[in-house]
């Protein structure tokens, strides 16, 4: 097993990661970010690795936050305008209400203590801000293959389907949650309410 967040694995994989991973879906991310009830000026791509998804986001300030320093060292290779930040998703090194949106692409299942992660995201979002999660549906036939493959590799992955994730985000305190799309990969958006 690789342990919390599988950080050691991704640190070692950093040099090859960009070669084997396809670009993130720009349209899917745009559709999720469009759900925000505020202008999206500052976006943090949580567990953003080398910036694969961040480069597909259209916002003036884009931050790639990851716990694997090896992945973050590769961020500049993709886009020199990205700001890499080393950090733990369970204790974000960001001020309260300091970002307009947080994205989490193909990585929620790698994060231990998903409740702490969701609470931290809610803390750093400004009112009306969006938490956009793209992940693999473990009930989809291809999703079942991903679950099996990650288990064989030794990951401690925790997969969640879209409806369960939407309900979970509501319980954590997001004012509105929406399943934007479904399939092998799905998108769920949680909005922070105006209560701050």
Domains and CATH numbers, the chain: 4-191 (3.40.50.150)
Given a contact cutoff of 8 angstroms between Cβ atoms, the answer to whether 17 and 77 are in contact is no
* Distance in angstroms (rounded) separating the CA atoms of residues 136 and 142: 9
Cα–Cα separations (whole angstroms), residue 14 to 7, 9, 11, 69, 135: 10, 9, 5, 9, 20
Predicted pLDDT of residue 6: 62
Predicted pLDDT of residue 84: 85
Predicted pLDDT of residue 49: 80
Show pLDDT as tens, one digit a residue, over the chain (196 residues): 234 446 555 545 545 555 555 568 899 999 999 999 999 999 999 988 888 888 899 999 999 998 877 767 777 665 668 888 989 999 999 999 999 999 999 889 988 899 999 999 999 999 999 999 999 999 999 989 988 988 887 778 889 999 999 999 999 999 999 999 999 999 999 999 987 5
* Distance in angstroms (rounded) separating the CA atoms of residues 159 and 57: 24
Q: How many residues in total does the chain contain?
A: 196
HSE at residue 100, side-chain half, CA atoms within 13 A, is 18
Predicted pLDDT of residue 18: 55
């Amino acid at each position: 097993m690789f342990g919390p967040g599988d950080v050691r694995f991704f640190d070692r994989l950093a040099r090859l990661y960009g070669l084997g991973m396809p670009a993130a879906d720009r349209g899917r991310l745009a559709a999720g970010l469009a759900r925000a009830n505020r202008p999206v000026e500052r976006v943090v791509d949580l567990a953003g690795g080398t910036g694969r998804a961040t480069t597909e986001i259209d916002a003036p300030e884009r931050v790639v936050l990851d716990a694997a320093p090896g992945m973050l060292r590769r961020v500049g290779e993709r886009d020199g305008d990205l700001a890499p930040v080393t950090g733990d998703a369970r204790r974000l090194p960001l001020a309260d209400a300091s970002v307009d949106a947080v994205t989490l692409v193909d990585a929620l299942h790698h994060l231990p203590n998903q409740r702490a992660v969701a609470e931290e995201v809610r803390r750093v979002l400004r009112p009306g801000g969006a938490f956009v999660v793209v992940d693999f549906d473990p009930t989809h036939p291809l999703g079942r293959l991903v679950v099996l493959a990650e288990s064989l590799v030794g990951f401690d992955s925790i997969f969640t389907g879209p409806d369960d994730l939407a309900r979970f985000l509501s319980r954590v305190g997001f004012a509105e949650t929406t399943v934007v799309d479904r399939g092998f990969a799905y998108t769920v958006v949680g909005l922070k309410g105006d209560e701050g």
